[in-house]
Amino acid sequence: MSKKRKSPEKSKSNKEKPQWNDKSNRQQPGKWENLLLGFLYSAQEALPLATIENYFLQEGVKAKDLAKTLDSLLHEGLITKSGKRLFKLSPNAPLYEGQLIQHPKGFGFISPVQQHGKSASFARDPFVSVSSMGNAHHGDRVLIRVLRTRKDLRPEAIVLQVTAHGSDRIAGIFKKDPRSAMVFPDDVRFPFTIRIDDYNNCNPTDGDAVIVQFTREPRPTRVLSGKILEVLGNSAKIDTQLRLVIEKFELPHLFSAGVQEEAESLSDLIEPEENREDLRQTMHVTIDGETAKDFDDAICVIKTRQGFRLYVSIADVSHFVVPGSAIDQEAYTRGTSIYFPGRVIPMLPERLSNDLCSLVPGKDRLTVSAILDFDRSGTLRSKRFTRSVICSQQRFTYTIVKQILIDQDPALRKLYKGFLTQLRWAQELAIALQKKRRQRGSIDFNLPEPEFTLSDEGEVTAITRTERNFAHQLIEEFMLAANEAVAELATASMVPALYRVHEPPDPVKIEEFITFAKTLDLHLPPQEDSPAWFVKVLDICRDSKYEYIINNLLLRSMKQAQYAAENVGHFGLASSDYTHFTSPIRRYPDLIVHRTLLRLLAKPLRKKSAEPAHPSFKDAGEFLSVRERTAIMAERDMHERLKITYMEKHVGDSFDAIISGVNDAALFLEIPDHCLSGSLAVDRLTDDYYLLDSKNHRLFGEITAKTYRIGDRIRVTLTDVDHYRRRINFTLATEAIA
């Protein structure tokens, strides 16, 4: 049956035309106006008419056209006249600079945005259509002119000029036929291909991943010329995919000779130091994942008459990494370690991350310790911090701790008999801390993450859900407690510091979520502007068919946590003071926090008036937040690549799926057992005409009234995967869902 019939709602929406807030300027301005605005912006000063005339003459513009352009811009108030023959930009001209983030379809957005003068600020990133892109490419820094603002508050803009070109090198897949050789960019945000004119003594084979340098053209074009710089090899191999991710996100991944030499010159000698406490007799242990190689935190729990004493001892990276050193500068540039399945791009050289700063068992290691005293209910009664030296007594994994504490495995309990008492105390304290945190409204999302199993050759042999157990929660509670304690000290001391902050969600997004939830017949509690409301919603949906969907949607409604000099609190944790202190091996913000803490310890604390946030903390917070987001995107991108490669071997297999989205063209699916997404085209539903009921987020059969709705579970069969677009396509399975 044909699937070209459209629902009334869809047909109606197709006829609607955009409505703009600014009705006075519906037409795109002339090219000469934009040329002049860009010229004056670049000058950054008033220009004499003769200079403007000379520039426009070189561009082939007639004098009468220039006169009309000047009159038009003066009339619109976009430029001003000084004296008789000097012209400059108006401070109110709607001009902005920012990086172009291009979509595979050619349009793009500008983010972040830098305003010109007194130009208006916007709630959303400006949109640039394909026709307004000029010759700008993804990654370029561009000057734009905002033309209008849509009803949804999205500004529309046109690119006036490229103020700084992005990289002219790009990774892609080499394809050769008898007539030509082309490279198709691996990053689909570059909507062009590269014709290879120079092989540069390289010899790629068809299908190889390569790095090329392309030549820009003065006018927009879909084909650029270029030369091969490097052949990466078979694109199916994980290490080749890793290089493609590195190129796509421009990740620094090689340490310079200077950094390596500096790292190798560091001494591993542990000598007595003034103000460094000897905690080597305290029974510290590490608890990490099976594949962990860098151990930056160790814990010890002792039961006291009042409750518990918790030691959280963190590798003293600041002892080895001197501010301004080559290692320090490189670590700041990277911002964070980036973890891929079976691979890592570390923030610090291996000499530090896997040796001097790694709290391996049986080795004396320099640390910074938070010593926290709690009562039996988990309330913090006192805290102190010290530089220390410890010797980890045991390296535990999450799995082993879970088997000891939860499963009560007799063999393991016998093997680790000497640690049973401390582990039991740790369990008691973690339970108390978790209960107290949840009582205050801290949000715990329940979203599975993928775990990739690799062969010795680096191929993905399985993708499963990561199972979080109580041991994960135990360590998480202790790290949260230490992070809060350090942040509370910084706040109380009124010193400039770097905080981990999380602002409340946008009310508009919450309203959209509530509207959506009503279509699922979910009875939500009255809305509150507090994290406790989110906890209630998650509890209502727990173990229901909508749990996965609601967790996803609520998480998307949240703002991103970030690093900042201004402490605005952490909404998701329901915490007024929070920072990152516990992972200086892999996060540069933690190293900054260590240095701040140690400066506090070096002098007596005294009450004083609040100090303004130090500019370096503000700048560092913004930069390191960007580096964190880049790392997250790179990790997700690698996961998607490996999922595509893995699923390619399973075409024809069937899977249990949850419908996570619906439109008139497709059902969007989540495969929870493998933590991957895909889609099922509506034209594959051949038993009826299916129409979109957008209000209730479902498709319904016109004849049978059969429905497919968000949250429904269905059985699907994998039909194909699209490497280039990273799409996984399904059809309905013939067998019923279990």
Residue ranges of alpha helices (H) inside 44-128 are: 49-58, 63-76
Q: In this model, does residue 613 exceed pLDDT 70?
A: no
**CA angle (525, 529, 530) in 5-degree steps:** 85
Residue 230 pLDDT: 96
pTM to 2 decimal places: 0.87
Residue 736 pLDDT: 47
Residue 369 pLDDT: 98
Between 60-74, 247-261, 301-315, 627-641, the lowest mean confidence (pLDDT) is in: 60-74
CATH fold of 650-732, please?
Answer: OB fold (Dihydrolipoamide Acetyltransferase, E2P) (2.40.50)
Other beta carbons within 10 angstroms of residue 407's beta carbon come to 12
Other beta carbons within 10 angstroms of residue 645's beta carbon come to 18
What region, left, alpha or beta, does residue 415 occupy, with left being phi > 0 and alpha being psi -120 to 50 degrees?
alpha
At 75, the pLDDT band (50, 70, 90 cuts) reads very high
At 609, the pLDDT band (50, 70, 90 cuts) reads very low
Mean per-residue pLDDT over the chain, rounded: 90
Question: Which H or E run includes 159?
Answer: strand 155-164
**CA angle (69, 32, 92) in 5-degree steps:** 70
Contact 577, 567 (CB under 8 A): yes
At 603, the pLDDT band (50, 70, 90 cuts) reads low
pLDDT in tens, 211-264: 999 999 888 888 999 999 999 998 888 899 999 999 999 999 999 999 999 999
Query: What is the rounded distance in angstroms from the CA atom of residue 628 to the CA atom of residue 626?
Result: 5
Query: What is the rounded distance in angstroms from the CA atom of residue 572 to the CA atom of residue 558?
Result: 9
Q: Mean per-residue pLDDT for 36-40? A: 93
At 723, the pLDDT band (50, 70, 90 cuts) reads confident
Residue 249 pLDDT: 94
pLDDT in tens, 645-666: 999 999 999 999 999 999 999 9
Query: What is the rounded distance in angstroms from the CA atom of residue 188 to the CA atom of residue 102?
Result: 9
- Cβ burial 122-147 (10 Å sphere, 16+ → b, else e): beebbbbeeebbbebbbbbbbbbbbb
For every residue of 288-319, which 3-state class applies, written as one string? ECCCCCCCCEEEEEEECCCEEEEEEEEECHHH
Residue 29 pLDDT: 57
CATH class of the 169-235 domain in this structure? mainly beta
CATH class of the 31-163 domain in this structure? mainly beta
At 331, the pLDDT band (50, 70, 90 cuts) reads very high
- Cβ burial 433-468 (10 Å sphere, 16+ → b, else e): bbebbeeebbbeeeebebbbeeeeebebeebeeeee
Between 72-76, 117-121, 529-533, 729-733, the lowest mean confidence (pLDDT) is in: 117-121
Q: Mean per-residue pLDDT for 583-602? A: 96
Task: Give the total residue count for the chain.
Answer: 738
Q: Mean per-residue pLDDT for 157-163? A: 95
Q: Mean per-residue pLDDT for 711-730? A: 92
Contact 498, 486 (CB under 8 A): no
Domain borders along the chain are 31-163, 169-235, 266-465, 483-633, 650-732
Burial bucket for residue 23 (CB in 10 Å: 0-12, 13-18, 19+): exposed
User: Bridge-partner residues for 181, per DSSP?
Assistant: 176
Residue 459 pLDDT: 86
**In Å, what is the CA distance from 704 to each residue of 48, 564, 714?**
74, 56, 18
Burial bucket for residue 626 (CB in 10 Å: 0-12, 13-18, 19+): middle
Contact 189, 104 (CB under 8 A): yes
Other beta carbons within 10 angstroms of residue 13's beta carbon come to 12
Q: Mean per-residue pLDDT for 166-171? A: 94
pLDDT in tens, 485-539: 999 999 999 999 999 999 999 898 899 899 888 888 888 999 988 999 999 999 9
At 604, the pLDDT band (50, 70, 90 cuts) reads low
At 629, the pLDDT band (50, 70, 90 cuts) reads very high
Q: Mean per-residue pLDDT for 271-285? A: 93
Q: Check residues 291 and 644 and name the one with the higher pLDDT.
A: 644
Of 314, 310, 399, 312, give the one whose Cα is nearest residue 359. 314
